[in-house]
Amino acid sequence: MNATFNIRRLRIAAIVAGAVAVLFFVLSGGHRPTSTQTTAGGEQQLVAILQYLESDYPAAVASNNAGELDEQRAFSADALAIAARLPVIAPFLGRVASIDARVRQASDPAGVSADCVSLVDDLIAATGISRRPTGTPDLQLGARIFAQTCASCHGPTGAGDGPAAAALKPRPANFHSPEVMAGLTPFKAFNVIHFGVKGTAMPPFATLDEKQSWALAFYLFSLRQPQCDHPPPRVSLDDLANRSDEELAKSVGAAEVRCLRRRFLEPDAPTHLVSAHAQVEAAAHRAERGDRAGAEKAILDAYLSDVEPVEPWLRARHPETLTQLEKSFAATRAAMEQGDPRAKDEAARLMGLLDRAAGSPAATTRASAFWFALLVIVREGFEAAVIVAALLAVLKKRKQVSRARFVHAGWTSALVVGAVVFALGRKALAGAMDEKLEGFLAFVAVAMLLHAALWLNARSTTRKTMGDLRERTQGALDRGAVALFAIAFVAVFRESFETAVFLEALSIDAPSAVVWGGCAGAVLLVVLVVAVDRLGLRLPMRTLFRASTVVLLATAVVLLGQGIHSLEEVGLLPSRPMGSLRIELLGIYPDCIGVLAQAALSFALILWSVLNRSPAPRVPRLDPAE
């Protein structure tokens, strides 16, 4: 009989796992995550050359130095060659040719400089090149990179007096010089770091990634600034990246420049949303010129770097706005991924939502997280209470009540360790949580929920479980106190560990609601246990465990939907928007993959319930006296 039952359970396990796996395989359609590596192509190199001509060409003409003019002509010729081979630059080829013609003749320095500025702005708007970092620059990282790669030429303080400087011609830049810094911006420095300067000893540092290059670029601007003794004014990261020190001084005052270059305020929610708008606009430009991968990457960056960090702020002010944003991000990314002509319209709609999001009024609900946390605490707590009650009942029957303290020490220790696991988990997640981790954690919780509800904790085996537990307890009495402690600890720690995982998964989006739900569940559990132990209350345990198993399975279905939604948002699963059905209480989002995966899991669980239906043996009541 037991062998037949075990075979049946294995078959059902295979059905559940197979149904969900097949569904993922079919619906994902062999989807491969879009690469998130940035490629600095010809467009950005052209921008870098034009920026160099803008600042250096007028000085070369004024000096009438043949060598410097030849250098400018070489840069201009390179710009024309790049523009000629890039189809996306075709509309601007005439303007590049006009600049090249004047540079070859060493004429119109003011006009060339102005045209370079205008052309750079238009190229960035047309190609979607990012001209600012995606996050706050790390000046300490910049300092380390400067010491390792730049100090030998530019000197330890950036004054252009490094050990190798004397042998170089032209001399390395002095970042304390007003002339050098007059027209320099971090964005220009970023491009020089990435592409180098032809004809000089400044090489390209292509091994540095974007974060490192931006950190180094911003660090250069801190070298000549004195220490900052007060918080800087709030200036957008875009302005900091694209304005020189002189331009910043004109807008906020010269006394504030040192703080703007040495300290960064954490961007507030509106600043993040403005940044997301810029990235979505860049994605639209890339999609329009056929760069699907670049467009999808820009949309993902906009969500992960600028919208996800302010989700709690948006959720607290107006959850409907966040819901609309998430839906619009998914629809826009799907349209760009598939080359849908409506991608531009979807991006425009998304940008409108981002512009409107900053003024969302306050209102929110976390009912689902609260109730699921309460029910998980009560359910898992009851299971642990049954185990402890059985241990104490055996001790009472054998008149070994004095040893009950070892059982109490075991289960209380297990609860403490479980609480520590939960606290450490929340701390780690609070510092490093992202959508990818959220998705994987949700899947782990789903697996544990199914394992607990279907196989480890099937109530039809409760009688056998209690019998085995009593036998182990009787054996432990002969072995001593350590064995009693170990049985109680292991039995209860399993429940507390599972509870910690479930609560961590539930608390991703609503930590405060989970805390309140968990506290309410703990109070209710204590009240019920005291009522059973002290007042002789008899609870219908069979009914309670059946109902709680349904709750665990429902929670698994909800977390499956939430996990899929998280992985879709980071591009690990394709997005397949459908309709407008959205019930966050049930983890249902308007996407085919998530809805069908939940439907498949629900069907498999119903099938398991039907096939596994059999007359249930008597389930012991929660009564330590039994």
Compute how many other C-beta atoms are within 10 angstroms of the C-beta atom of residue 182. Answer: 12
pLDDT given at position 31: 42
Three-class DSSP labels, 359-403 = CCCCCCCCHHHHHHHHHHHHHHHHHHHHHHHHHHHHHHHCCCHHH
Find the range with the poorest average confidence among 23-32, 207-216, 295-304, 350-359.
23-32
Determine contact, residues 222/261, Cβ cutoff 8 Å. yes
> Tokens 């389930």 belong to which residue?
619
pLDDT given at position 570: 57
pLDDT given at position 410: 78
Q: What Rg value do the Cα atoms of the chain yield, rounded?
A: 32
Reported confidence tier of residue 62, pLDDT bands at 50, 70, 90? very high
- 496 or 103: which carries more pLDDT confidence? 103
Query: Residues 68-89: pLDDT tens digits?
Result: 898 899 999 999 999 898 887 8
Q: Is residue 128 exposed (0-12), middle (13-18) or buried (19+ Cβ within 10 Å)? A: buried
Smallest Cα–Cα separation from 48: which of 206, 193, 207?
Answer: 193
Compute the average pLDDT of residues 330-346: 82
Look at residue 348 and tell me whether its pLDDT is greater than 50: yes
Rounded CA gap, 285 and 130, in Å?
12
- 11 or 545: which carries more pLDDT confidence? 545
Rounded CA gap, 53 and 311, in Å?
43
Query: Residues 417-438: pLDDT tens digits?
Result: 777 766 666 555 544 445 555 6
Rounded CA gap, 443 and 448, in Å?
9
Q: Is residue 147 exposed (0-12), middle (13-18) or buried (19+ Cβ within 10 Å)? A: exposed
Look at residue 218 and tell me whether its pLDDT is greater than 90: yes
Across the chain, what does the average pLDDT equal? 74
- 571 or 100: which carries more pLDDT confidence? 100
The secondary element (H helix, E strand) that includes residue 178 is: helix 178-182
What SS3 state is found at 78? helix
Look at residue 363 and tell me whether its pLDDT is greater than 50: no
Look at residue 285 and tell me whether its pLDDT is greater than 50: yes
pLDDT given at position 154: 93
Q: Is residue 492 exposed (0-12), middle (13-18) or buried (19+ Cβ within 10 Å)? A: buried
pLDDT given at position 355: 73
- 361 or 144: which carries more pLDDT confidence? 144
> Tokens 């940008």 belong to which residue?
351
Compute how many other C-beta atoms are within 10 angstroms of the C-beta atom of residue 243. Answer: 21
Query: Residues 20-57: pLDDT tens digits?
Result: 444 444 444 444 333 333 334 688 889 999 988 998 89
pLDDT given at position 561: 79
CB < 8 Å & 24+ apart, contacts of 612-615: 612/8, 612/9, 612/12, 612/458, 614/460
- 176 or 297: which carries more pLDDT confidence? 176
pLDDT given at position 511: 64
Listed ranges 16-20, 325-329, 424-428, 570-574; the one with the highest mean pLDDT: 325-329
Compute the average pLDDT of residues 361-366: 39
The tokens describing 134, both together, are 């995606």
Find the range with the poorest average confidence among 256-270, 323-337, 457-471.
457-471
Find the range with the poorest average confidence among 157-171, 314-328, 425-439, 605-619.
425-439
Non-local CB neighbours of 365 within 8 Å, separated by 6+ positions: 319
- 591 or 617: which carries more pLDDT confidence? 591
- 262 or 426: which carries more pLDDT confidence? 262
Listed ranges 143-147, 291-295, 331-335, 479-483; the one with the highest mean pLDDT: 143-147
Look at residue 520 and tell me whether its pLDDT is greater than 50: yes
Reported confidence tier of residue 605, pLDDT bands at 50, 70, 90? confident
Reported confidence tier of residue 97, pLDDT bands at 50, 70, 90? very high
